[in-house]
Amino acid sequence: MRKAGAPYLLFLGDVRDELSIKGCTGVKIWRPEKARAQIVLEGGDRDLGLENMTPAQAAEAGCRTMLVGVANAGGFVPDAWVPTIVEALDAGLDVMAGMHRRMADIPAVAEAAARNGRALFDVRQPGMAFEVGKGFRRTGKRVLTVGTDCSLGKMFTSLAIEKEMLSRGMEATFRATGQSGIFIAGEGVAVDGVVADFIAGSVEWLCPANDPDHWDVVEGQGSLFHPSFAGVSLGLLHGAQPDALVMCHEPTRPHMRGIHGRPLPSLEECIEVNERMARLTNPAAKVVGVSVNTAAMAEDAALACLDETGRRLGLPCRDPIRTGVGAIVDEIGTI
């Protein structure tokens, strides 16, 4: 089965929320050679700094796939997007998407793909059957990013850790568990599309036994404290059997994403609960560092926050963008 070809036309849709285009943003940052152009629909205000093109212009410029790298609650495809998706197929582009609704289940899209001989790639749909998780110890090492909330930097932190490890000559592989990570890595398992009984088993498959010194850097999803996504987070903890956990946090959020009135848990509580849950399949699992997204803070305030948080918790506390994750990788390397 062939994979989606690059370069991509990045579909930013009509969204007005930076977090909602994280799939496209991730490709632009981590695989810039694949990001050729962008398309924004009426009402949208996001901009990745790429040239704006119609699907026909993008095809003429050498794009091979339109990437629908937009996330929304429920993973639905608004009716307003469908004409542009059809236009891309008619222009000779394949379409890759990370929505819960399959492109092939949208009649106009399926018809356009068929008449043009184009492919539809739905990365959020598991392409295979998984066994249930067994929890047996396997060789190799694994680090999993976890969080106080969803959409606050677990993927970015995982990719930064992998990059730092590889720069040191360590054996490391980023393991994508969400649609955005799969867009970047080119493979993985979108665990929120896996039937609940098989989530842990799918992660065991994704992170198999490996060389003793090899690190799988497993992209985390959701949060044990988010009522909407805690089930996926727990399945990841059990399937990854992490030797190390990195806690991710965004200190300026007034509430859990999408749930007004529900505050984020304290870092101390979140660390304790994640360690306790992870120890079902790896009794030695522990949090070794904290990754803080300080994008909304001024430089002085951000550095003060990192310093105070690190001293309070007795853990290296870093922002992957402002400070890098070297100190966290130093701690991982002691395991």
pLDDT tens digit sequence for 304-314: 999 999 999 99
Q: What's the average model confidence in pLDDT over 109-137?
A: 93
Residue 308, strand partner residues:
none
pLDDT score recorded for residue 16: 81
pLDDT per position as a tens digit, 192-217 = 889 999 999 999 999 999 999 999 99
Q: Residue 332's pLDDT is what?
A: 98
pLDDT at 73 over 70: no
**Can you read off the two tokens belonging to residue 57?**
């212009």
pLDDT of residue 2: 62
pLDDT at 13 > cutoff 80: yes
Give the DSSP H/E element, type plus range, for residue 23: helix 22-30
pLDDT at 63 over 50: yes
Give the residue among 31, 237, 9 at the shortest CA–CA distance from 145. 237
CA dihedral in degrees (251, 254, 260, 263; nearest 10)?
60
Give how far Cα 129 sits from Cα of 197, 233, 237, 238, 268, Å.
Answer: 12, 20, 20, 18, 37
Over residues 36-55, the pLDDT tens digits come to 999 999 888 889 999 999 99
CATH code for the domain defined by 8-122: 3.40.50.720
Whether the Cβ atoms of residue 211 and residue 139 lie closer than 8 Å to each other: yes
**What confidence tens digit (pLDDT) does each residue in 263-273 have?**
999 999 999 99
pLDDT at 98 over 90: no
What's the whole-number average pLDDT of the chain? 94
The percentage of residues in the chain with a pLDDT greater than 90, rounded to a whole number, is 83
Residue with tokens 């030695």: 284
d(CA 113, CA 42): 24
Rounded Cα distance, 117 and 304, in Å = 56
Mean pLDDT of 71-85: 83
First-to-last C-alpha distance (Å) of the chain: 38
Kindly indicate the confidence band of residue 69, based on its pLDDT and cuts at 50, 70 and 90.
confident
Q: What is the mean pLDDT of residues 3-31?
A: 88
pLDDT of residue 15: 83
What is the percent of the chain where pLDDT is above 70?
Answer: 98
Domains 8-122 and 141-332 share a fold: yes
Local confidence band at 74 (pLDDT 50, 70, 90 cut-offs): low
CATH class of 141-332: alpha beta
CA–CA dist 305, 321 (Å, integer):
15
Q: DSSP string covering 312-329, please?
A: HHTS-EE-TTTT-SHHHH
Alpha-carbon distance of 93 to 116, in angstroms, equals: 9
For residue 1, name the pLDDT band (cuts at 50, 70, 90).
very low
- Please report, for the chain, the start and end positions of each structural domain, with discontinuous segments joined by +: 8-122, 141-332
According to DSSP, the residues that pair with 228 across neighbouring strands are: none
What single-letter amino acid sits at 231?
Answer: G
pLDDT at residue 99 in the model: 85
Question: In the prediction, which pLDDT does 181 show?
Answer: 92
Write the pLDDT tens digit of every residue in 128-181: 899 999 999 999 999 999 999 998 999 999 999 999 999 999 999 999 999 889
Tens of pLDDT, residues 213-248: 999 999 999 999 999 999 999 999 999 999 999 999
